[in-house]
Amino acid sequence: MQTQNKTALVVGANGVIGGNLIDHLLTLDDWHIVGLSRRGGVSTDRVTYISVDLLDPQDTQSKLSNLTGVTHIFYAAFQDRPSWAELVAPNLAMLTNVVDAVEPVARELQHISLMQGYKVYGAHLGPFKTPARESDANHMPPEFNIDQQDFLERRQAGKAWSWSALRPSVVIGYGLGNPMNLAISIAVYAAMSKELGLPLRFPGKPGAYDSLLEMTDAGLLARATLWAATTPECANQAYNITNGDLFRWSEMWPKIAAYFDMETAPPLPMSLATVMDDKEDLWNRMVAEHDLAAHPYRAVSSWAFADGVFGWDYDFFADGSKARRHGFYEFVDTEAMFMAVFDNLRDRKIIP
């Protein structure tokens, strides 16, 4: 049974996923929102931001133990580490600390939503079975996404609340200071290339230019996340959430270049993390010359993540039909999504 007024605890509130989820919840009248992040935020009558170190059990307990009205936890936090094995401990600890602090006091807790991704299918390790399906077998650990879901499954046993796991592809949307923001990486790379009088070259591995892949719009993901969290038939299940179409960079890249009024040139494999490392002075000059918003270079740089995406020289897509079979029918045109995000970045004066 759903309560008339619900309280969402959004963990990772300043990320692309969490921020867009909050934006969606704000369009609905029956939600109060609590946003958690290390940086905090400016609270309003609808959103209360809390700055908390989720790796510190004491700080988490102190900051969250009074959240007795929480009905839904939306977990989208992530801590990066140098290796896959090192990702497990901090990311499992943060989820555990949140649930340990909130579940005992939130008597009306209905649902915990977990944000995952295609790492569940081993997509980050190399060529994997496509289309990936929610019923596919797990791969050899370490893998924190799998450990997090195992934790929720064990914790939920015998409880009144349920869980869901959302598995998007690369999430595209507005968000600054995020280590996994492909849209800003492409836009800033294009803007800098144009500033230097260069064509827009695809910087990925040779095979990546023609591999088949998909994306997930952040707004679409927000709506799907809320759907899964408030639909009883979705209880205790995982869902791939995708735009619904497939593309190749060989088709999309010229369209992106055309948006920026640029020519293309043959792809040239290069590490953006390396070649863009010395571009802070260029960025600062562009901010001044084009009257851009005064964001530091590090806030618009996600080069290592972009390198990872552009290095997928194998097909990268999943079967999204389970969500449709269970009642979520929305889709997004990926080309239009990219152009809309670039428009948004220009409107916000992030790029020229």
Give the dihedral of Cα atoms 25, 347, 170, 217; nearest 10 deg.
50
Amino acid occupying residue 243 = N
CA distance 139 to 121: 7
What's the confidence (pLDDT) of residue 177?
Answer: 77
Cβ atoms of 165 and 116 closer than 8 Å: yes
pLDDT tens for 277-322 read: 999 999 999 999 999 999 999 999 999 999 999 999 999 999 999 9
pLDDT tens-digit readout, 107-157 = 999 999 999 999 999 999 999 999 999 999 999 999 999 999 999 999 999
Question: Cα dist. 244→16, 174, 247 in Å?
Answer: 20, 20, 10
Name the class of domain 6-170+216-241.
Answer: alpha beta
Question: pLDDT grade, residue 2 (50/70/90)?
Answer: very low
Domain with CATH 3.40.50.720 in the chain: 6-170+216-241, 172-214+246-317+332-347
Dihedral, CA of residue 261, residue 264, residue 270 and residue 273, to nearest 10: 10
Q: How far apart are CA 18 and CA 35, in angstroms?
A: 8
Asked if the model's pLDDT at residue 332 lies above 60, the reply is yes
Q: Which residues contact 4 (CB under 8 A, 6 or more apart)?
A: 30
Name the band, by pLDDT with cuts 50, 70 and 90, for residue 5.
confident
**Strand 215-217, strand 31-37: pairing:** unpaired
Superfamily of domain 172-214+246-317+332-347: NAD(P)-binding Rossmann-like Domain (3.40.50.720)
3-state secondary structure of 229: helix
182, containing H or E segment: helix 182-195
